Amino acid sequence: MQHHIVIVGGGAGGLELATRLGRSLGKRKRARITLVDVNLTHIWKPLLHEVAAGSLNTTDNELNYLAQAKWNHFDFQLGRLAGLDRSAKTIRLAATLDNKGVELVPARSISYDSLVIAVGSLTNDFGTTGASEHCIFLDCLQNAQHFHQRLLGEYLSAHAREDDNEQVSVAIVGAGATGVELAAELRNAAKMLSDYGLDHIRPENMHISILEAGPRILPALSESLATTVHQELLKLGVKVRLGAQVKEVTAEGFVTAEGELIPATLKVWAAGVRAPAFLRELDGLETNRINQLVVETTLQTTLDPSIFAMGDCAACPLEPGSERNVPPRAQSAHQQADLLARSLVLRLQGKPLPHYQYRDYGSLVSLSSFTAVGNLMGGLMRNVNLEGWMARMFYISLYRMHQMVLYGRFRTLLLMLSDRIGKRTHPKMKLH
């Protein structure tokens, strides 16, 4: 019987791993590969802020799991992980329901020989009162689309009332890459919405604020680059509040630790990450305080060598014995997918597994069409700072690299050509 590798989670890392293993093992019938995800389509998570602002059309950028499975020799199962039986080597999937509560796909169990858990992360609101009720978390496609509909609704409502004094305020908690990039995209969206005739809310009447509890924005970047981005945000009319710790969220806005109310029509929480809570209940597997599965540097879970975890849901030490873990970043998931694609082949051969060592290749931040900044590290680059057009090109190349893993070079080139044509035949932003 073929060795069965089951991958739970079709994010960037999980999907890249399934694709690589399908091409190497599935195509040659050396193993059976199954990818499980709660959705039918994939979109690269770093693009969610563009979906929220409307500058990215999801229809043109979603990947269908069933089609990808057919093209790359693996199976796809729709479902949400609901349980694990390590002794029987099975996972349990919950029933999938439609929006009316009617069962579409029944609950079932799937056996495995090797299991990879790659379910990503969620936004961590740190238990802040009112955050879950009043904030939108940009941690999945549905939430990003919900924010876009709320934003568009404000503009359409003002357009119908023909009131030229309308205003909309957006406040974002967290000055990491997501919060900063969303703020810039929203400033660009305000201009484009006005250009398309929804001008009863003038661009300057979209008030955008970023609230950051720390002493500066973008802690992943150098202080000089973070200062450059801060200044660019101020030029765009974005208010940046540092040292602003939020203690409560209400329908009217954010309440800081000092008792100040910062009003907001639309409230976004983009600070902190945690793994899904159900990981704490997976048949006794070891987890940390933010629900991540604790793994060795081989990415095997500490209590079961047949179960691996990768990406944001895994607490992997930077090196053996280190108390610091690999940061939850897209490049980490990409590197771990590459390692596991080799490790699982070696496991079938009964050979020792390699150890993962995180390599920081730098960080890039895009401020919509205005500019981009970042730094590159490793290889020929020795901590090179970039700004403007060059940084923007490197930023775009990250997504193209992800596409090349999934589609191959030729199809990625076709997608790039299609995107170029689409810019001339579609609106510059999504208006529905």
Q: Going residue by residue through the chain (432 aa), what tens digit of pLDDT does each one get? A: 899 999 999 999 999 999 999 999 999 999 999 999 999 999 999 999 999 999 988 877 899 999 999 999 999 999 999 999 999 999 999 999 988 889 999 999 999 999 999 999 999 999 999 999 999 999 999 999 999 999 999 999 988 887 777 899 999 999 999 999 999 999 999 999 999 999 889 999 999 999 999 999 998 888 988 999 999 999 999 999 999 999 999 999 999 999 999 999 999 999 999 999 999 999 999 999 999 999 999 999 999 999 999 999 999 998 877 788 999 988 999 999 999 999 999 999 999 999 999 998 888 899 998 889 988 876 555 678 888 888 888 888 888 999 999 999 998 998 888 888 777 777 878 888
Helices (H), 351-431: 388-407, 409-425
- Residues 294, 262, single domain; the answer is no
From the list 63, 86, 76, 84, the residue with the least C-alpha distance to 33 is 76
In angstroms, rounded to a whole number, what is the distance separating the alpha carbons of residues 22 and 345? 11
Confidence at residue 228, expressed as pLDDT on a 0 to 100 scale: 93
Specify the number of domains making up the chain.
Answer: 3
- Residues 287, 182, single domain; the answer is no
- Residues 189, 140, single domain; the answer is yes
In a domain, 116, yes or no: yes
- Residues 207, 226, single domain; the answer is yes
Q: pTM of the prediction?
A: 0.93
In angstroms, rounded to a whole number, what is the distance separating the alpha carbons of residues 137 and 142? 10
Q: Return left, alpha or beta for 283; rule: phi > 0 is left, psi -120 to 50 is alpha, else beta.
A: left
- Residues 51, 156, single domain; the answer is no
Confidence at residue 382, expressed as pLDDT on a 0 to 100 scale: 63
- Residues 326, 401, single domain; the answer is no
Domain range for 418 is 362-425
Structure tokens, 135: 């904030």
In a domain, 201, yes or no: yes
In angstroms, rounded to a whole number, what is the distance separating the alpha carbons of residues 241 and 219? 15
| Whether 86 contacts 307, CB under 8 Å | yes
- Residues 289, 385, single domain; the answer is no
Collapsing DSSP to helix, strand or coil, 390 comes out as: helix
Query: Among the three residues 228, 245, 269, which one is the final residue of a domain in this structure?
Result: 269
In angstroms, rounded to a whole number, what is the distance separating the alpha carbons of residues 308 and 366? 33
In a domain, 25, yes or no: yes
Helices (H), 115-176: 131-134, 141-161
Distance (Å) of CA 256 to CA 61, 171, 174, 232, 398: 38, 13, 13, 25, 36
From the list 65, 60, 97, 66, the residue with the least C-alpha distance to 82 is 97
| Residue 112, domain CATH | 3.50.50.60
In a domain, 353, yes or no: no
- Residues 163, 285, single domain; the answer is no
In a domain, 173, yes or no: yes
Side-chain-facing half-sphere of 377: CA atoms under 13 Å: 14
- Residues 200, 117, single domain; the answer is no
- Residues 69, 116, single domain; the answer is yes
- In the sheet with 80-85, reading across from the earlier edge strand, the strands are 80-85, 90-94, 108-111
In angstroms, rounded to a whole number, what is the distance separating the alpha carbons of residues 115 and 307? 5
- Residues 308, 403, single domain; the answer is no
Give the pairing type, strands 103-105 and 96-97.
antiparallel
- Residues 111, 161, single domain; the answer is no
Maximum distance among all Cα pairs of the chain, rounded to whole angstroms: 71
In a domain, 204, yes or no: yes
Query: Among the three residues 226, 248, 269, which one is the final residue of a domain in this structure?
Result: 269
Query: Among the three residues 269, 291, 325, which one is the final residue of a domain in this structure?
Result: 269
In a domain, 92, yes or no: yes
Sequence letter at residue 274: R
In a domain, 170, yes or no: yes
In angstroms, rounded to a whole number, what is the distance separating the alpha carbons of residues 156 and 164? 13
